[in-house]
């Protein structure tokens, strides 16, 4: 993650330190612009983790709880447009997930339960028309 920290047994430490790291970690592009910022608590990612493109636009917004992705998470294209949106509960996708093309049109929308497709999955053509609609139950296509 960073030259200043090392990972041991799933926890982040400063080199030579026996106490898990707590604090804010920032990484920068060679230009000096912010590349990422995150919070670490007792060696684990916690709270907001933001990653930026080299042009300063937000690339990823990820929430963590006790080192595991948790909450609403987003991805953005380099021009700032939304790339994806999904919700994670203890690292597993739940609820509605959406993926967008770089031009901003919706590419797919999927419902999840316990990290498996569950419910309606829809795929869209670039013109916005429905391409495919599939019903899932516990990760399997429903009959």
The CATH number of the domain where 140 resides is what?
A: 2.20.110.10
Residue 132 has a pLDDT of: 97
Q: Are residues 14 and 70 in the same domain?
A: yes
Q: Are residues 93 and 134 in the same domain?
A: yes
Domain boundary among 25, 49, 80: 80
Q: Are residues 45 and 107 in the same domain?
A: no
Q: Are residues 65 and 15 in the same domain?
A: yes
Q: Are residues 8 and 74 in the same domain?
A: yes
Q: Are residues 47 and 106 in the same domain?
A: no
For residue 37, pLDDT over 60 is answered with yes
55-109 residue pLDDT tens:
999 999 999 999 999 999 999 999 999 999 999 999 999 999 999 999 999 999 9
Sign for the CA dihedral angle at 90, 74, 72, 21 comes to: positive
90-105 residue pLDDT tens:
999 999 999 999 999 9
CA 118 to each of CA 42, 97, 143: distance values in angstroms, whole numbers, following the listed order? 35, 11, 13
Residue 3 has a pLDDT of: 56
Domain boundary among 39, 57, 80: 80
Give me the domain span that covers residue 117. Answer: 89-143
Q: Are residues 48 and 75 in the same domain?
A: yes
Radius of gyration of the chain (CA): 18
């Amino acid at each position: 993650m960073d030259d200043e920290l090392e990972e041991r047994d799933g926890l982040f430490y400063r080199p030579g330190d026996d106490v898990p790291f707590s604090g804010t970690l920032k990484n920068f592009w060679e230009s000096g612009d912010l590349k990422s910022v995150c919070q670490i608590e007792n060696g684990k990612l916690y709270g907001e983790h933001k990653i930026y493109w080299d042009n300063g636009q937000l690339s990823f917004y990820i929430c963590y709880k006790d080192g595991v992705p948790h909450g609403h998470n987003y991805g953005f294209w380099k021009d700032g447009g939304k790339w994806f949106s999904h919700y994670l509960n203890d690292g597993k996708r739940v609820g509605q997930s959406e993926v967008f093309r770089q031009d901003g049109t919706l590419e797919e929308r999927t419902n999840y339960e316990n990290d498996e497709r569950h419910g309606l999955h829809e795929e869209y053509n670039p013109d916005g028309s429905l391409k495919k609609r599939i019903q899932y139950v516990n990760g399997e296509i429903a009959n």
